[in-house]
Structure 1
Amino acid sequence: MTVFIEYSPYFLAMAVLAVASAFFSCAEAALFSLQPDDRRALAKGNAAQRTAIDLLAKPERLLTSVLFWNLMINVVYFALASVVGIQLEQAKRPSEAFATAVLALLTLIVFAEMLPKTLGVQKPRLLSALLSLPLSGTVRATDAVMPALTWVNGLAQRLLLPGFRREPYLELQDIEKAIKLSSGDRHLADNERSALQNIVSLSELQAEELMRPRRQYDCYQPPIHLANLGGDLTRSGYVLVSEAESDEVAAAIPLKLLPTAPKTHLENYAQPVIYVPWCASGAAVLEELHRQQREVAAIVNEFGETVGIVTLEDLLATIFEDHSSRSARMLAVASIAPAGDGVWEVTGMTSLRRLQRHFNAPLAETHSATVAGVLQESLHRFPEAGDEVLWSGFRFHVLSVDESGTLRVQLTRALGDGLWE
């Protein structure tokens, strides 16, 4: 205790420096722990909350400033601790000098690093708003030396982490050639080529060809409790939350979050969905999901009604699975399966694009995108078991229609139709 009294000015200054270091550590952890939803909420808040978002607009500037001030504070802090330790050594008090050094180190680690960063990670939105205004002033104070710091940082990156220049443009053929040359495993190269082709085809597929129709997913009105799910996994992989007074999809909760969520009022943990038109391409849907950091897109028709959903998992399956189809994902059956000599069994949601690619046959023009759509367009009503339709060289025979509207259709190649044999 006598040491603290004798060197009270030093310890007081060190305490102030430790608080300053804790401020920067907490601010850094809080700001860089903000999730996309947090950032969107802060962007619509008060001046302090908007300042936090402005700081994150230039993350390199923010991080450089925080590290600069933390380094300066720590240097001065340990310089003062060293002065106290040297004076104690000169006074023949080595044990007290050692204890002072250890205490100074532990104080900085625990109270200026571990504790504030833990708080920042646990309460990022609150602490980002509280600390943003003073932090903004310190960031502006480093603008005078920022060019020099940026130059040193760039030099270090060039020496220690050399990178490659970005090509201004790559042709699809260039990527395919690179895959062939880079992979000695033919099977692996085929998989990479298949994924590449699926990525390209994603720009040709419309959202209505990828979506899960309304009857193929469950939607719950709030309040939603875990007991409402009945202990079963949802078909879409998400707990879909509807609007309060309608069955339109408004938000979604990934099933992977349920183990950490409470058993009541799950809607409070839901993430809003995005809305895209039925005619949007799969690539556009994926880009919009990535831009807004969402996982579910609600597909709407020209009247603004929700006709289905597309999930991020659906899009990734379309890219990385060789024979991905909605039938396989939703019904656990193949979209086109052999059922005998010259006979196949297809589902109603089998896309005409897949049908054309499978049989390598031209198809007549139609406004429909699926087999079920062609049947409805031809019959002018919803198909029933036993219905037969001859269309574009194919004979469709409806085998069954279940309660959810899922069709099982027998398909044969129609001869003498004048189109192809």
Structure 2
Amino acid sequence: MNWVLMAALLLCSGLVSGAETAVFSLRPAERRALQRSSAWGARMLRRPTDLLVALLLTNLALNVGYFTVSSALSLELLAQQRGLAATAVGLGSLAAIVVLGEILPKSLALAAPAQLAGLLALPVVLLRTLLAPLVGLASWATRLLESLLLGSATRLEEPDANDYKSALSSGVALGAYRAVELALLHDVVDIGARRARSLMVPRVDVAFLSLQDDLAAWVATMAERPHTDYPVISGRRDDVVGTINAGVLLSRPDARREDLLDPPLFVPEGIGAERLVLRLADERRHLAILLDEYGGVTGVLGLADLSRAVLGEVEGLSTGGYRRGGGGGVLLPGSCSLMTLNEELGLELPARRSDTLAGALAEGLGRVPKVGDELLHGGWRLRVTAVRRQAVESVLARPARRSRPDGAPEPGGAP
């Protein structure tokens, strides 16, 4: 009977050890796939800290029970004057728990974490529910001990973008990479904090393809405005029915165009750029359709646009659309992001709902800007120089006019 009980405890210990390794070694893509494919898997991944505590407590209890039974069996053998057998049981029990209860299940879990986590999701959730009072008590005791021993320094602050940039900058001094590579890495870090609406191609600039037009019209649009993927509409621009890849269309000109469409990927315009990249990768799409809070199409954003947002800024704003003029003036595109302006020029425009210079000007003026409109802010005079389709196309930024005590402008001031 003792042997059967030991084998059962050993098996359970191996399953718990394997579950712990499988769940906490899942890659982000595997976690998202498990959450989508299994309701029990989604529940299992909701509270990782409680899950870890439950698995550790269970494994500890199983191991204590296993060695209790093993010790009882050894003592029984010693009472029968079978010392060699008792020693073999003790050493064998230790070897079995290490190999079969730890090494083997953890190795198998590392080899196929997603499959094992999916199989064990239901029993693991039930186990955590059963041990909820103990898990809560253990978590409370841990937090109490942390506060008593470490005081206010119980938890380290999460690193922010500036911390990552500082760590990357130290690599230049060590010769790990060059300055241009550092600029690229900084832009990769920055894009995680940006919203899709600050990177999108706005609706007025999107090349829509309408099902009401013939194939020749589509090809003409593609020739005039070349892209990899295009949004397809059935009538109005808000009626997006799918997206189409230019290469697929041109390679199959005789096919029904409706059969070549990919379902549209609709996302809110406020989604973070990092989350959008993950969505595009998960859905295996190249283009996302951005919607406002009322369901209207505000623009599109694809992997190519996200790549340009990083790679295009390595060379600085000068190649991204601004030119320096006389008197310290700078000609800026209206689509220039406020984050980039803040970093390059130190402009801290007070915009609450805008991500671009054009939007900040509209907020500051309280109306749609037109050519000649000016806004003073932070020592800079911003003048609208070009407007296209009611959108600001370019802005001239100059240092604001400064006056001497006698009323004459200082040298170098903007005329």
TM normalised by structure 1 equals 0.51
Partner of 1:349: 335
- What letter is aligned with 2:334? G
| Deviation of the 1:236 alpha carbon | 4.7
Contact 2:237/2:297 (CA < 8 Å) preserved in 1? no
Give me the whole-angstrom Cα distance separating, in 2, the residues matched to 1:177 and 1:389. 36
Residue 388 of structure 2 aligns with which residue?
A: 402
Name the aligned partner's letter for residue 396 of structure 1.
L
Compared with structure 1, are the counterparts of its residues 207 and 273 closer, same or farther at alpha carbon in structure 2 (3 Å cutoff)? same
User: Does residue 219 of structure 1 match 2:219?
Assistant: no
SS in 1 for 2:223: coil
| Alpha-carbon separation, structure 1, partners of 2:252 and 2:173 | 47
Seen in structure 2, the aligned counterparts of structure 1 residues 345 and 320 have a Cα distance that, compared at 3 Å, is closer
Q: Which position in structure 2 is the counterpart of 1:27?
A: none
Match of 1:198 in 2: 187
Structure 2 length normalisation: TM-score? 0.51
Measured after TM superposition, the shift of residue 312 of structure 1 is 0.8
- Give the letter for the 2:383 counterpart: H
- How far did 1:359 drift? 0.9
Question: Partner of 1:393 in structure 2?
Answer: 379
Deviation at 1:351, TM superposition (A): 1.4
Q: Secondary structure at the match of 2:361?
A: helix
User: How many angstroms does 1:233 deviate by?
Assistant: 4.0
Which among 248, 262, 277 is matched to residue 268 of structure 2? 277
Gaps (5+ residues) in structure 1? Answer: 1-42, 45-146, 155-169
- Describe the shift of the 1:175–1:394 C-alpha distance in structure 2 as closer, same or farther (beyond 3 A): closer
Change (3 A) 1:249 1:412: farther
Question: Which whole-Å CA distance do the structure 1 matches of 2:255 and 2:332 have between them?
Answer: 41
Q: Report if aligned partners of 1:384, 1:401 keep a CA contact under 8 Å in 2.
A: yes
Matched, 1:360 2:346: yes
Distance 2:399 2:382 in 1: 9
- Is 1:260 matched with 2:251? yes
User: Equivalents in 1 of 2:315, 2:367: separation in Å?
Assistant: 29
How has the CA–CA distance of structure 1 residues 341 and 222 changed in structure 2, closer, same or farther, with 3 Å as cutoff?
same
Is the 1:297–1:310 contact (alpha carbons within 8 Å) kept by the matching residues of 2?
Answer: yes
Kept after mapping to 1: 8 A contact 2:380/2:399: yes
Task: Tell whether 2:292 aligns with 1:301.
Answer: yes
Amino acid corresponding to residue 395 of structure 2 in structure 1: V
Partner AA of 1:311 in structure 2: G
SS in 1 for 2:295: coil
Describe the shift of the 1:393–1:174 C-alpha distance in structure 2 as closer, same or farther (beyond 3 A): closer
- Tell whether the 8 Å contact from 2:195 to 2:273 is kept in structure 1 after alignment: yes
Aligned to 2:198: 209
In 1, Cα distance between equivalents of 2:356 and 2:237: 27
CA distance in 2, matches of 1:174, 1:409: 33
Deviation of the 1:362 alpha carbon:
3.7
Instruction: Give yes or no for contact 1:224–1:265 (8 Å, CA) kept in 2.
Output: no
Over 3 Å counting, the alpha-carbon distance change for 1:180 and 1:396 in structure 2 is: closer
Shift of residue 243, structure 1, vs aligned partner: 4.1
CA 1:324 to 1:285, structure 2 compared with 1: closer, same or farther past 3 Å?
Answer: farther
Amino acid corresponding to residue 182 of structure 2 in structure 1: R
Alignment partners' CA distance in 2, 1:174 and 1:378: 34
Contact 2:347 2:378 in 1 (8 A): no
Determine the C-alpha separation between the residues in 2 that align with 1:309 and 1:235.
15
1:249 maps to 2:240: yes
Aligned length: 251
Residue correspondence of structure 1 range 62-101 to structure 2 within 5 A: none
Kindly provide the CA deviation profile for residues 314-354 of structure 1, in whole angstroms up to 9, marking residues without a partner as x: 112223344479x99xxxx7332212231111121111111
Please identify runs of 4+ aligned residues in structure 1 that moved more than 6 A: 181-184
Q: Determine the C-alpha separation between the residues in 2 that align with 1:363 and 1:402.
A: 22
Aligned residue identity for 1:199: V
**Residues 364 and 246 (structure 1), Cα distance of their counterparts in 2 relative to 1, 3 Å cut:** closer
Task: Indicate the RMSD between aligned Cα atoms, in angstroms.
Answer: 3.9
Identity %: 22
Structure 2 unaligned runs (5+)? Answer: 1-35, 38-103, 112-158, 404-412
Q: Any residues of structure 2 matched to 1:151-162 within 5 Å, and which?
A: none
